[in-house]
Chain A
Amino acid sequence: MQLFARSNRRQFGATAIAASIAALGMMSVSPAVLAAADTSAVIEIGSLYEPQNLDNTAGAGQGINEAFNGNVYEALFALTDGGDVSDALAKDYSVSDDGLTYTITLQDGVTFHSGDPLTAADVKASIERVTAESSKSSRKNNLATITNIETPDDSTVVITLSERSISLPYNLSYVWIVNDAATSITDSEDGTGPYKLDQWRRGSSLSLTLADNYWGEAPTNAGVVFNYFTDATALNNALLTNAVDIITSVQSPDALAQFTDNPDFTVTNGQSTTKELMAFNDRVAPFDKVEVRKAVARAIDDKKLLESIWGDYGTLIGSFVPPTDPWYVDLTAVDAYDPDSAKAMLAEAGYPDGFTFSLDTPDYDPHPIVAEFIKSELAKVGVTVNINIITANEWYTKIYQAHDFDATLQEHVNHRDIVFYGNPDFYWGYNNPKVVELIKQSESSATIDEQNQKLTEANKLIAEDAASDWLYLYPQIVVSASNVSGYPVNGLNSQFYAYDIEKSAE
């Protein structure tokens, strides 16, 4: 599961829960172009996230999910851009009454790019690739309840669990189905997706062409090329000069000015799952007091902060849960901006003259400027902030591992990551037994409704406890040439399905 974003992303093990009912309807890009799509067009995609290698169990980074999930590799289930889990290579599945046995039937007529047919043995091998000792997949722990995988025939997989796991289909949406004959996939691939790898030029681009005999619906384009850039300005210029057709994620509203007023480009504003937050160390004084945390949350004008960083983009959130998670409820009214009550609460908590704390701030944008804003806001209620700038590595060792901090800033990128609040050993040390219990129970829910209800309750509790101060949700901004449409706009978990992208002839 990814905790860091951008170049500083790193993978950590963690438990996610899942399975879903979409909270939002599918968001789609309305094609502004009436001209007919050119199915022979190759879509040039510009991205900042080049994968380190091509194997998602070998520490390849978020770039490989962007390029390969759903495009080159498919899973038994797919996470749609709207946040739903839908069937993919699984044609159908049934769950036993005790919730411990999943019987999955595979789609017919699926072949790998090498020509081998998909069999149940491939599925078993693929799941075992992720759960293997040597696997660096951060999803490993999510599949720890799997005790046995059986393959009674070529098109049936039976998965046995040690305890109920309502999120199994969601978690399986991250398990690429790879041909079991493929030995190493760090620089080649053998998947079942609509595209196959054409060429990977390290440091430059990764091109995908149409796979032969694809079992599903054929893509609306003739291939895609991911062009990798290390510099956002260079990437923007590439779009301006038509060197690329689309940018997967724009990271600053100020770069958008060049595109918003120009009819040649379309700017779409989707919802990311990336949350900017000030995480208190809930173990240590003064942040072990709920009133202090609530007071600090009330003293910071999140709306002004969001406008400062993102202009007209982005969303305010009242807790850790973004609108694309099924257990979202609008909690922005909890501890809304109110400096007067913040002062009163501080006095009540025994800090009438405020206090001083150190804010460990990662050295890359937007954290330093967010820290300055917080310092200025908290000064108004008598709280002094010492900004301590640290590198991403220091963050990992000092905060994530050693828990040696008062408060820190971090962006959390994952979909469905409220489960972190159910782990008292997580870096922020939030420990509310009721939340821990709810999150634990939610995973063994018999129905998705029950899971949603439990997590919604946990969501409300963490907001009431001001477990952290959730500042805002990043927007997911995709910019394309105006003759290109059909791309995903939410970018959940860095995925970027390319098969519906259309480019009309100009």
Chain B
Amino acid sequence: MTTIELDRPARRSAASLTFIVGLILVGLHVAIALLTLVWTPYDPSSTAGGRLEAPSLLHWAGTDRLGRDLFTQIMIGSRIALQVGIGAVGIGAAIGVTIGVLAAFATRLLDDALAAAFDILIAFPTLLLAMLVVAASDTASLWSAILALGIALSAIVGRLTRILAKRVLQMDFITAARTSGTSWPRIVVIHILPNIWPTLMVNFALQFGLAAIAEASLSYLGLGAPPPNASWGRLLQEAQGTVYTAPFGAIAPGLALLVLVIGINLFADGLRDVGDPTRRRSR
């Protein structure tokens, strides 16, 4: 494997504070999401509580109209947000990286066409594109939302991949590899991907945050995970009508979403600081 040597020795220096804070916040969500697989404070469908109870020791975030524990719902929402984030970024990465690399290797005409296609897709607001995909599928489900967001994100990933891959393709060692008869799939695997990977990872982390917000928006509009999935967007939507009498029902899922997105952004920032020598030098 050939990686472009850029200030390599310093790369393993202490991770930045933002990275650590981000990691803790994201880690917290991951831990909670995993915890919901085995334990939640209440059965999520139990309607044993009172109507719209305020936060208390029994119900840390209060209850909803049906008397269900909101903290339980928000914990499950964490799992859904991560599921959507991982799923959407996974799909976006798979499609985007593949097409991006293909474009970089393609003939001039195909490359231009793909680049234009990426630009057109990006010009569409992510949410609108996702809504189109959801509308095209028969019924709204968690998977249609993930697929929709994945497709919307793939254009951004694709364009970035294409640019990064093209830059690497101009390097001398690629010319060397080509002259020595290395096949292009092999060039992709051993030369290109390892070199563009750090930058892509930062981008994936940022996309993850975008996907979490977009899923909440879709669910808020009724196009995301259908009930009884406790998506944060749906919790927000359900709390809307009772926002005067039980404001915490809207505040709590909003806070959870905020913490996750801030965490991911700090994490991505930190990742960039670690992975991008030019930035680190300027400090």
**A interface vs B, CB < 8 Å?**
252, 254-255, 257-258, 304, 307-309, 311, 361, 363, 365, 368-369, 371-373, 375-377, 379, 387-390
**Contact residues in A for B227 (Cβ distance below 8 Å):** 361, 368-369, 371-372, 387, 389
Flag whether B246 is at the interface (Cβ < 8 A): yes
A254 touches B140 (CB 8 A): no
Considering only CB atoms, which chain A residue lies closest to B234 in the complex? Answer: A368
Asked whether A372 and B246 contact (CB < 8 A) given A304-B47, A307-B51, A311-B51, the answer is no
Considering only CB atoms, which chain B residue lies closest to A361 in the complex? Answer: B227
**Contact residues in A for B241 (Cβ distance below 8 Å):** 252, 254-255, 365
Q: A449 CA to B199 CA in the complex, in Å?
A: 83
A255 touches B244 (CB 8 A): yes
Q: A363 CA to B223 CA in the complex, in Å?
A: 10
> Beta-carbon contacts of B237-263 to A below 8 Å, as 1s and 0s?
010011011100000000000000000
- Which of B52, B140, B222, B241 has the largest number of chain A CB atoms within 10 A? B241
* 17 examples of A-B residue contacts, CB within 8 angstroms: A254-B241, A254-B242, A254-B244, A254-B246, A257-B244, A258-B244, A369-B66, A371-B227, A372-B66, A376-B46, A376-B47, A376-B66, A376-B228, A379-B45, A387-B227, A389-B226, A390-B139
**Contact residues in A for B55 (Cβ distance below 8 Å):** none
A369 touches B238 (CB 8 A): yes
Q: A373 CA to B139 CA in the complex, in Å?
A: 21
**Contact residues in B for A389 (Cβ distance below 8 Å):** 139-140, 222, 226-227
Distance of A49 from chain B, by nearest CB (Å): 18
Considering only CB atoms, which chain B residue lies closest to A385 in the complex? Answer: B228
What are the 8 A-B residue pairs with the smallest beta carbon separation, nearest first? A376-B45, A254-B242, A254-B245, A389-B226, A308-B66, A363-B222, A308-B65, A257-B245
Question: Is the contact region of chain B dominated by helix, strand, or loop, or is it mixed?
Answer: loop
Chain B residues 57-73 with CB under 8 Å of chain A are 65-67
**Contact residues in A for B246 (Cβ distance below 8 Å):** 254
**Contact residues in B for A254 (Cβ distance below 8 Å):** 52, 241-242, 244-246
Q: A369 CA to B237 CA in the complex, in Å?
A: 11
Asked whether A373 and B66 contact (CB < 8 A) given A254-B245, A257-B244, the answer is yes
Distance of B161 from chain A, by nearest CB (Å): 36
Q: A369 CA to B68 CA in the complex, in Å?
A: 11
Chain B residues 199-242 with CB under 8 Å of chain A are 222, 226-228, 238, 241-242
Asked whether A308 and B238 contact (CB < 8 A) given A255-B244, A368-B227, A389-B226, the answer is no
Distance of B221 from chain A, by nearest CB (Å): 10
Q: A309 CA to B245 CA in the complex, in Å?
A: 14
Q: A307 CA to B51 CA in the complex, in Å?
A: 8
Distance of B100 from chain A, by nearest CB (Å): 35
**Contact residues in B for A258 (Cβ distance below 8 Å):** 244
Considering only CB atoms, which chain B residue lies closest to A257 in the complex? Answer: B245
Distance of A394 from chain B, by nearest CB (Å): 9
A308 touches B244 (CB 8 A): no
**Contact residues in A for B139 (Cβ distance below 8 Å):** 388-390
- Which of B46, B51, B139 has the largest number of chain A CB atoms within 10 A? B51
Distance of A48 from chain B, by nearest CB (Å): 14
Asked whether A373 and B140 contact (CB < 8 A) given A254-B241, A257-B244, A388-B226, the answer is no
- Which of B67, B222, B238, B245 has the largest number of chain A CB atoms within 10 A? B245
Considering only CB atoms, which chain A residue lies closest to B242 in the complex? Answer: A254
Distance of A229 from chain B, by nearest CB (Å): 15
Q: A159 CA to B238 CA in the complex, in Å?
A: 52
**Contact residues in B for A368 (Cβ distance below 8 Å):** 227, 238
Distance of A312 from chain B, by nearest CB (Å): 10
A308 touches B67 (CB 8 A): yes
A373 touches B47 (CB 8 A): yes
Chain B residues 14-29 with CB under 8 Å of chain A are none
Q: A309 CA to B242 CA in the complex, in Å?
A: 11
Distance of B139 from chain A, by nearest CB (Å): 6
**Contact residues in B for A309 (Cβ distance below 8 Å):** 65
**Contact residues in B for A371 (Cβ distance below 8 Å):** 227
A375 touches B65 (CB 8 A): no
Distance of A410 from chain B, by nearest CB (Å): 17
Distance of B144 from chain A, by nearest CB (Å): 12
Q: A308 CA to B67 CA in the complex, in Å?
A: 8
Q: A132 CA to B45 CA in the complex, in Å?
A: 52
**Contact residues in B for A257 (Cβ distance below 8 Å):** 244-245
B45 touches A375 (CB 8 A): yes
Distance of A358 from chain B, by nearest CB (Å): 10
Q: A6 CA to B252 CA in the complex, in Å?
A: 30
Distance of A2 from chain B, by nearest CB (Å): 23
Considering only CB atoms, which chain B residue lies closest to A309 in the complex? Answer: B65
A375 touches B228 (CB 8 A): yes
Distance of A392 from chain B, by nearest CB (Å): 12
Q: A50 CA to B245 CA in the complex, in Å?
A: 28
18 extra interchain contacts, Cβ-Cβ under 8 A, other than A257-B245, A361-B227, A371-B227?
A254-B242, A254-B244, A254-B245, A254-B246, A255-B241, A304-B67, A308-B51, A309-B65, A311-B51, A368-B238, A369-B238, A372-B45, A372-B66, A376-B45, A387-B227, A388-B139, A389-B139, A389-B140
A369 touches B65 (CB 8 A): yes
Considering only CB atoms, which chain B residue lies closest to A390 in the complex? Answer: B139
Distance of B44 from chain A, by nearest CB (Å): 9
**Contact residues in A for B244 (Cβ distance below 8 Å):** 254-255, 257-258
Considering only CB atoms, which chain B residue lies closest to A256 in the complex? Answer: B245
Distance of A391 from chain B, by nearest CB (Å): 9
> Beta-carbon contacts of B170-210 to A below 8 Å, as 1s and 0s?
00000000000000000000000000000000000000000
**Contact residues in A for B226 (Cβ distance below 8 Å):** 387-389
Considering only CB atoms, which chain A residue lies closest to B52 in the complex? Answer: A254
**Contact residues in B for A387 (Cβ distance below 8 Å):** 226-228
Considering only CB atoms, which chain A residue lies closest to B243 in the complex? Answer: A254
**Contact residues in A for B242 (Cβ distance below 8 Å):** 252, 254
**Contact residues in A for B222 (Cβ distance below 8 Å):** 363, 389
> Beta-carbon contacts of B28-61 to A below 8 Å, as 1s and 0s?
0000000000000000011100011000000000
Q: A389 CA to B218 CA in the complex, in Å?
A: 14
**Contact residues in B for A311 (Cβ distance below 8 Å):** 51
**Contact residues in B for A361 (Cβ distance below 8 Å):** 227
**Contact residues in A for B65 (Cβ distance below 8 Å):** 308-309, 369
- Which of A258, A377, A388 has the largest number of chain B CB atoms within 10 A? A388
**Contact residues in B for A379 (Cβ distance below 8 Å):** 45
Q: A111 CA to B241 CA in the complex, in Å?
A: 47
Q: A365 CA to B51 CA in the complex, in Å?
A: 17
**Contact residues in B for A363 (Cβ distance below 8 Å):** 222
Considering only CB atoms, which chain B residue lies closest to A387 in the complex? Answer: B227
